[in-house]
């Protein structure tokens, strides 16, 4: 758990050695509770990547908060992730949530590759230890994969013994369809600015796998015709660029040639419509 852009998704991808959660420089990229599974000879860890902590403005946000609460309820160990760029005030609104979680916690300071000296790192860790009232905080860089193995070993020490929930070849609880829809959404975050990424939702409507190719048909939902026009671009140039970028990543993930068709549809105010949100896979 943590604030938006703390690096939670990058951290889970580093644990897995595979890109399961999408990442973006923009806040609130993650909308769902996504499980990533690491299985070794003597342990299995099921990581839960959650949306960033937020104050809900839309029904969509309420669903995201519910995803966080469900993940916290299911967890054996809670890992609050703090970015070196955050201030204590960024956690003030979440103090009640954090104190209400009666689970073991392991605090992480992420993006420590930013620091130039050991003194800067030590000062930051001591500041956060004092703020949270804790004795232990592990410094990592998810992006540079600094201290990831050390963190993994500490997590194993803190987790209870239990038979594995998943087979050794499973990486996530999400379907290939879901991962593809997330890849498309990630590319929207990369290519478009301002309100466009936040006004989009992506659904894979058809997934046909043949021997030499996978044909994927996907719908992108926006809230207004003006947003649809931006996504399409002049002469369809923007949607074509988006499709090429998403297809390349889908081929890397699925290990197969991909045909990807993207269609843009308008659903007015979908972020505040409970019925539409349910149809789009939100609780």
CATH architecture assignment, domain 8-158: 3-Layer(aba) Sandwich (3.40)
- Spell out the domain ranges in the chain: 8-158, 176-279
Q: CA torsion, points 190, 8, 110, 145, in degrees to nearest 10?
A: -80
Say if 8-158 and 176-279 have the same CATH topology.
no
The per-residue pLDDT for 201 is: 98
pTM, two decimals, is: 0.93
The per-residue pLDDT for 93 is: 85
Strands (E), 58-200: 81-83, 107-110, 137-139
3-state helix, strand, coil in the chain (%, to 5): 45, 20, 40
Structure tokens at 117: 């000296």
Interatomic CA distance for residues 185 and 162, integer angstroms:
35
Interatomic CA distance for residues 126 and 84, integer angstroms:
12
The per-residue pLDDT for 75 is: 96
The per-residue pLDDT for 59 is: 97
CATH architecture assignment, domain 176-279: 2-Layer Sandwich (3.30)
Ranges in the chain, pLDDT < 70 = none
The per-residue pLDDT for 281 is: 87
The per-residue pLDDT for 96 is: 84
The per-residue pLDDT for 156 is: 97
Interatomic CA distance for residues 143 and 156, integer angstroms:
21
The per-residue pLDDT for 160 is: 95
Interatomic CA distance for residues 138 and 149, integer angstroms:
11
Structure tokens at 46: 């099921």
The per-residue pLDDT for 97 is: 87
The per-residue pLDDT for 142 is: 98
Q: Phi-psi region for residue 12, left (φ > 0), alpha (ψ -120 to 50) or beta?
A: alpha
């Amino acid at each position: 758990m943590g604030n938006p852009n703390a690096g939670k998704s990058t951290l889970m991808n580093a644990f897995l050695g595979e890109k399961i959660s999408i990442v973006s420089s923009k806040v609130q990229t993650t909308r769902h509770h996504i499980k990533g599974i690491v299985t070794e000879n003597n342990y299995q860890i099921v990581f839960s990547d959650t949306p960033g902590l937020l104050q809900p403005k839309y029904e969509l946000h309420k669903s995201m908060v519910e995803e966080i609460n469900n993940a916290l309820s299911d967890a054996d160990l809670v890992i609050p992730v703090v970015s070196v760029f955050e201030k204590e005030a960024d956690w003030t609104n979440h103090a009640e949530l954090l104190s209400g979680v009666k689970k073991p916690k392991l605090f992480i300071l992420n993006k420590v590759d930013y620091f130039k000296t050991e003194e800067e790192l030590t000062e930051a860790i001591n500041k956060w230890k004092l703020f949270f009232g804790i004795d232990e905080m592990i410094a990592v860089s998810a992006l540079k994969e600094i201290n990831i193995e050390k963190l993994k070993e500490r997590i194993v020490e803190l987790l209870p013994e239990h038979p594995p929930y998943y087979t050794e070849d499973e990486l996530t609880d999400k379907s290939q369809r879901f991962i593809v829809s997330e890849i498309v959404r990630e590319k929207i975050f990369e290519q478009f600015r301002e309100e466009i990424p936040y006004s989009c939702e992506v659904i894979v409507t058809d997934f046909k796998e043949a021997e030499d190719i996978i044909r994927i048909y996907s719908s992108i939902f926006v809230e207004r015709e003006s947003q649809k026009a931006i996504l399409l671009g002049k002469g369809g140039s923007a949607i074509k660029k988006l499709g090429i970028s998403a297809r390349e990543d889908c081929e890397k993930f699925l290990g197969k040639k991909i045909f990807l068709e993207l269609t843009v549809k308008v659903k007015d105010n979908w972020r505040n419509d409970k019925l539409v949100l349910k149809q789009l896979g939100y609780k």
